[in-house]
């Protein structure tokens, strides 16, 4: 008989009762070091006082009012993003896929408003991930996610990642914009070449297209900057953010330049929960932490320390791990063994990680970790690799 919860996930047989910082406590009585952060989402770790208090206090006042009224928490949060980023205006919603839907709608509508209703197509990339709605599995373009769901939604063209010539060749009179992740997260923690991102900006300017960055996974401090594109020194016209934005509270945002944002006139787009008082209280609390003096320096210091340790791990266990890749605290270990096996072996050692595409083991710890947590994770990864190596040696011996 089917389980009461629909069977659409492969869950490890472990549940967590509570957490503190980068640690989660299992109902098996063990403690686990969380280097997955709920898929790059629990950016402040677990049991964070400031975040938990902000949510509890807001919940006691008012949880939801709808967008029929002003929401001061949302006005404040939007103004803070505008002050801290390329954006002129912000739309709040509830998930990464929903933010990307809003981003694509805003690009199409802005082209239409500019006198180009024929410009509806978006150039996307092989290895991308943009979410699970019907339109976003089409934007993702991965056959595995499309299978069985009928004809893909029209309007998305795919070209190889990091290949500017392919992008320029794919631009037609119907192209409205480009959507790219500055680091492909699900696709295998593959960073875009900074020159490639600069080339996309130039192509958009040349052909009158809008440049969209999907920073659902790379944004909100994960890369060591508020947004990962800042490392390349280019600005998008529109950007989607989610995952870490609420520190684990469900929330997302579309940030845009005025030319794109102004296309979303009253009645053109909306969402019932988006930008509610509770989510925005969480969002403001997260920003209090990541915009505080020195926090991003700490993230970059920790990221460099972790990366150096991972390079040593790869050198010591080259039979298991062959490469470190990524940016900031979004890092990947390319595996020789199946990455799902490596993930399960790490879990058995007490370390939570997340598998990604291209046979990569992804590490996306809470941004609040320090060197001590890195040392602990590196030791657990070393143990994991040793046991794998032993298991393999055993297999060979038999
Ligand atoms: C996770 C993710 C999404 C989808 O976010 P959901 O909240 O699951 O809808 C979209 N884009 C990227 C880059 C992601 O990592």
Domain check: are 166 and 197 in the same one?
yes
Closest CA to 256 of 62, 105, 94: 105
Domain check: are 270 and 348 in the same one?
no
Domain check: are 221 and 363 in the same one?
no
Residue nearest to atom 11 of ligand 1 (CA): 130
Q: Above 90 in pLDDT, residue 97? A: yes
Instruction: Pull the structure tokens for residue 220.
Output: 């909100």
Q: With cut-offs at 50, 70 and 90, classify the pLDDT of residue 204.
A: very high
**Segments forming the whole domain that contains residue 329:** 16-40+293-397
Q: With cut-offs at 50, 70 and 90, classify the pLDDT of residue 394.
A: low
The mean pLDDT of 90-111, rounded to a whole number, is 98
The pick from 131, 238, 274 for probing ligand 1's pocket by mutation, whose C-beta has the most ligand atoms within 8 angstroms, reads: 131
Which atom of ligand 1 is closest in space to residue 217's alpha carbon? 15
The mean pLDDT of 241-257, rounded to a whole number, is 98
The mean pLDDT of 29-54, rounded to a whole number, is 98
Domain check: are 168 and 273 in the same one?
yes
Q: How many independent structural domains does the chain possess?
A: 2
User: Distance between CA atoms of 353 and 378, rounded to whole angstroms?
Assistant: 12
Give 175 Cα–ligand 1 centroid separation in angstroms: 23
Q: Is residue 188 in contact with ligand 1, taking CB distance under 6 Å? A: no
CA atoms within 13 A on the CB side of 304: 6
Q: Is residue 10 part of a domain?
A: no
Output the pLDDT for position 162: 98
Q: Is residue 95 in contact with ligand 1, taking CB distance under 6 Å? A: yes
Give 246 Cα–ligand 1 centroid separation in angstroms: 14
The pick from 95, 97, 187 for probing ligand 1's pocket by mutation, whose C-beta has the most ligand atoms within 8 angstroms, reads: 97
The mean pLDDT of 154-163, rounded to a whole number, is 98
Q: Is residue 217 in contact with ligand 1, taking CB distance under 6 Å? A: yes
Output the pLDDT for position 170: 98
Give 185 Cα–ligand 1 centroid separation in angstroms: 9
Q: Is residue 180 part of a domain?
A: yes
Q: Above 60 in pLDDT, residue 6? A: yes
Which of 290, 324, 348 is the last residue in one of the domains? 290
Q: Is residue 107 in contact with ligand 1, taking CB distance under 6 Å? A: no
How many degrees, rounded to 5, is the angle at CA 42 between CA 37 and CA 47? Answer: 110
Q: Is residue 42 in contact with ligand 1, taking CB distance under 6 Å? A: no
Domain check: are 250 and 310 in the same one?
no
Q: With cut-offs at 50, 70 and 90, classify the pLDDT of residue 387.
A: confident
pTM, rounded to two decimals? 0.97
Q: Above 60 in pLDDT, residue 397? A: no
Q: Is residue 5 part of a domain?
A: no
State the CATH number of the domain containing residue 58: 3.40.640.10
């Amino acid at each position: 008989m089917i389980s009461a919860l629909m069977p659409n996930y492969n869950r490890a047989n472990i549940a967590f009762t509570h957490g503190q910082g980068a640690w989660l406590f299992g109902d098996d009585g063990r403690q686990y070091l969380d280097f997955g952060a709920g898929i790059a989402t629990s950016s402040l770790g677990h049991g964070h006082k400031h975040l938990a208090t902000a949510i509890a206090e807001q919940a006691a006042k008012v949880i939801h009012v709808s967008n029929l009224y002003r929401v001061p928490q949302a006005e404040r949060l939007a103004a803070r993003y505008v002050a801290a980023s390329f954006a002129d205006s912000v739309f709040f919603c509830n998930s990464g896929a929903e933010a990307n839907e809003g981003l694509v709608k805003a690009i199409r509508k802005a082209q239409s408003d500019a006198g180009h209703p024929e410009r509806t197509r978006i150039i996307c990339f092989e290895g991308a991930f943009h979410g699970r709605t019907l339109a976003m599995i089409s934007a993702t373009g991965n056959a595995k996610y499309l299978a069985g769901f009928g004809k893909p939604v029209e309007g998305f063209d795919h070209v190889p990642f990091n290949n500017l010539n392919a992008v320029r060749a794919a631009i037609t009179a119907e192209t409205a914009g480009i959507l790219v992740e500055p680091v492909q997260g699900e696709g295998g923690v593959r960073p875009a070449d900074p020159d490639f991102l600069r080339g996309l900006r130039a192509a958009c300017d040349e052909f009158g297209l809008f440049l969209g960055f999907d920073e659902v996974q790379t944004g909100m401090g994960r890369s060591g900057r508020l947004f990962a594109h800042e490392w390349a020194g280019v600005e998008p016209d529109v950007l989607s953010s989610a995952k870490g934005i609420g520190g684990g509270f469900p929330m997302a945002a579309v940030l845009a330049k005025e030319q794109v944002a102004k296309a979303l006139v009253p009645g053109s787009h909306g969402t019932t929960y988006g930008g509610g008082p509770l989510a925005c209280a969480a969002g403001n609390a997260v920003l209090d932490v990541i915009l505080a003096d020195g926090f991003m320096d700490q993230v970059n210091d920790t990221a460099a320390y972790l990366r150096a340790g991972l390079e040593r791990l790869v050198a010591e266990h080259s039979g298991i791990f062959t490469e470190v890749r990524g940016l900031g605290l979004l890092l990947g270990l390319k595996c020789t063994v199946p990455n799902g096996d490596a993930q399960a072996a790490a879990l058995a050692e007490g370390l939570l990680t997340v598998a990604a595409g291209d046979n990569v083991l992804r590490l996306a710890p809470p941004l609040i970790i320090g060197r001590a947590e890195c040392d602990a994770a590196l030791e657990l990864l070393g143990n994991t690799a040793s046991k794998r190596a032993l298991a393999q040696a055993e297999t060979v011996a038999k």
